[in-house]
Amino acid sequence: MTSSVQEKLRGLPAVHKLLAWPSAQEWSGIYGREAVVVAVQLALDEWRRAILAGEDVEVSDAAALVRVYAKLGEYTTLRLRRVINATGTVLHTNLGRAPLADVALDAVVSVAKGYSNLEYDLAAGERGHRYTHVEALVCELTGAESALVVNNNAAAVFLFLSEFAKGKKVIVSRGELVEIGGSFRVSEVMRASGAELVEVGTTNKTHLRDYEQALAEGADLLLRVHTSNFRVVGFTHKPSLADLVALAKRYQVPFFEDLGSGSLLDLRKLGIGDEPIVRESLAAGVDVVSFSGDKLLGGAQAGFLCGQKALIDRLKKNQLARAVRVDKLTLAAIEATLRLYRDETLAKGQIPALRMLLAPAEELQGRAERLACEVARVIDGKAQTRVLATFSKVGGGALPLVDLPSYAVGVTAASLSPDALHTALRRANPPVVARVADDEVVFDVRTLLAGDEVDLLAAVSSAFVAATDAEGGR
Ligand SMILES: *Cc1c(COP(=O)(O)O)cnc(C)c1O
């Protein structure tokens, strides 16, 4: 260490001196003294690192004050928090997939706040089971004989394979060996569960005879996986569900289908995509299907296993079921969400994911026009705003080819690059995540929820204020 570095380190303000500031005392009253001490140390650490890295650091009291306050903000703000999704991707996996319906939130709060009959049978006055609360409802909505809800769909697939495919040969079409979100690969889940993968067919074409040959050679289980997040287009073929069911029956092997998203509402009838509904697979005779709770269903993170009672009973008894069990908050959210599906109008009107997916373009246009006026008002000539036609995505690895016609507000500023503006928006509270396209920051109004507009305007306004300050300070 050179003497000048040592000198600079010694020149840093002392902790007790910083804590003695009137502002620091005031912050102690609000955030607690411990938090202010940590913030001071974090700020000092940062300066020390900069000095050791050879930077020329001189800490004025004013600069120290600003730095400590920023550290205090970072230290005391919840890390996991609400953000505003202006990307237009409805089931944005990085942004938490489906927002919950109000009735689901109420159910979660009521169950979380106190005690519940999670594993208590109120009628009998004795121990009950957590799975009974939603099982009948899932069966009612899907036509399944029996059902089990677990932590997520990945766990559902893993549980099924662990019970029925350990040490057995499982047939999967080469066109269905998908990877979802980087961490769920069909081939690897199979390996982890002790199943032996028997690949049949090719990437684009798999015929019934390919499956039949594998069964004739002794395969034990037939697995079909929904190619959620990609589509092979052009010269393709896969056997119909009915043909596969008949084949599985003929060879007396279980037929399991990982539906991925698992839609309960027929979006095809509403002009969106080609997603099959859960009921169809079960009606066609698939033995057990699995799907997610927070994709197209629009509920909380969960995995559903539905189908034949004899098979579901075995899953319920599997030791792993405990390891992947669903918690009470999720069950509360799921039950309330599923109830909405008893009436299609309620589901479409109250489940935020469905409401956003089904929002008519004219409505979005009106909202974009109003938002553009408001944005123009808060940035007061510091940038240009316009309304543009755009496309939203479904997201969550569902319906990758569907482009939902939407409207957005585009903001271009001479003083602030789109990336710099987006960075400032992500630092706002609540943070705003938008799209950057060409020279514009784009806010797709489809994914803005009630109340988001006000916060978005505040974020835009503070981003421009911060930019102006930075310029003035230069
Ligand atoms: C999304 C998906 C999964 C994983 O579901 P999670 O609920 O996220 O665990 C598994 N299989 C398919 C086909 C999927 O689309």
pLDDT bucket at 206, cuts 50 / 70 / 90: very high
Which of 44-53, 205-214, 231-240, 445-454 is least confident?
Answer: 231-240
Q: At what angle do helices 418-427 and 452-473 cross, to 10 degrees?
A: 120
Q: Is the pLDDT of residue 472 over 60?
A: no
C-alpha 108 to ligand 1 mean position (Å):
23
pLDDT bucket at 474, cuts 50 / 70 / 90: very low
Among 153, 288, 294, 296, which is best to mutate for testing ligand 1, by the most ligand atoms less than 8 A from CB?
Answer: 153
Tens of pLDDT, residues 94-125: 999 999 999 999 999 999 999 999 999 999 99
Token output for 401: 């080819």
Q: Is the pLDDT of residue 293 over 80?
A: yes
Tens of pLDDT, residues 385-395: 999 999 999 99
Q: Is the pLDDT of residue 144 over 70?
A: yes
Among 150, 158, 160, 184, which is best to mutate for testing ligand 1, by the most ligand atoms less than 8 A from CB?
Answer: 184
pLDDT bucket at 398, cuts 50 / 70 / 90: confident
Half-sphere exposure of 344 (CA within 13 A, CB side): 8
Q: Spell out which residues line ligand 1, taking CB within 6 angstroms.
A: 152-154, 157, 178, 180, 184, 225-226, 228, 258, 260-261, 292, 303, 397
More confident position, 164 or 189: 164
Which atom of ligand 1 lies closest to the CA of 303? 7
Whole-number average pLDDT of the chain: 94
Nearest CA to ligand 1 atom 3: 260
pLDDT bucket at 378, cuts 50 / 70 / 90: very high
CA distances in angstroms from 137 to 147, 336, 441, listed in the order given:
9, 10, 43
CA 302 to chain centre: 12
Cα 123 from Cα 135, distance rounded (Å)? 17
Q: What is the mean pLDDT of residues 261-265?
A: 94
Predicted local confidence at residue 350, as pLDDT: 98
Fold classification of 99-350 is Aspartate Aminotransferase; domain 2 (3.40.640)
C-alpha 283 to ligand 1 mean position (Å):
22
Instruction: Answer whether 206's CB lies under 8 Å from 232's CB.
Output: no
Which atom of ligand 1 lies closest to the CA of 397? 15
Cα 419 from Cα 423, distance rounded (Å)? 6
Q: Is the pLDDT of residue 272 over 60?
A: yes
pLDDT bucket at 187, cuts 50 / 70 / 90: confident
> Which string of b and e fits 432-454 if b means at least 16 CB within 10 Å?
bbbbeeeebbbbbbbbbeeebbe
Residue whose token pair is 């808060």: 378
Predicted local confidence at residue 473, as pLDDT: 44
Tens of pLDDT, residues 305-364: 999 999 999 999 999 999 999 999 999 999 999 999 999 999 999 999 999 999 999 999
Query: Can you list the pairs that 10-14 forms with residues at least 24 positions away whose Cβ atoms lie under 8 Å?
Result: 11/58, 11/59, 12/44, 12/47, 12/48, 12/51, 12/59, 13/44, 13/59, 13/61, 13/64
Which atom of ligand 1 lies closest to the CA of 181? 1
Predicted local confidence at residue 145, as pLDDT: 98
Q: Which pTM was predicted?
A: 0.93
> Which string of b and e fits 249-280 if b means at least 16 CB within 10 Å?
eebebbbbbbbbbbbbbebeeeebbebbbbbb
Q: Is the pLDDT of residue 77 over 70?
A: yes
Q: What is the mean pLDDT of residues 64-86?
A: 94
Which of 20-24, 231-235, 372-376 is least confident?
Answer: 231-235
pLDDT bucket at 397, cuts 50 / 70 / 90: confident
Q: Is the pLDDT of residue 201 over 80?
A: yes
Residue whose token pair is 């990307």: 87
C-alpha 375 to ligand 1 mean position (Å):
38
Nearest CA to ligand 1 atom 7: 153
Domain boundaries of the chain, sorted by first residue: 3-76, 84-93+356-471, 99-350
Residue from 61, 59, 34, 37 nearest 48 by CA:
59
Q: Which CATH number fits domain 84-93+356-471: 3.40.50.300, 3.90.1150.180, 3.40.50.2000, 3.40.50.1820?
A: 3.90.1150.180
Q: Is the peptide bond before 430 cis (omega within 30 degrees of 0)?
A: yes
Q: What is the mean pLDDT of residues 127-133?
A: 94
CA 45 to chain centre: 35
Predicted local confidence at residue 182, as pLDDT: 64
The pairing of beta strand 84-85 with beta strand 432-433: parallel
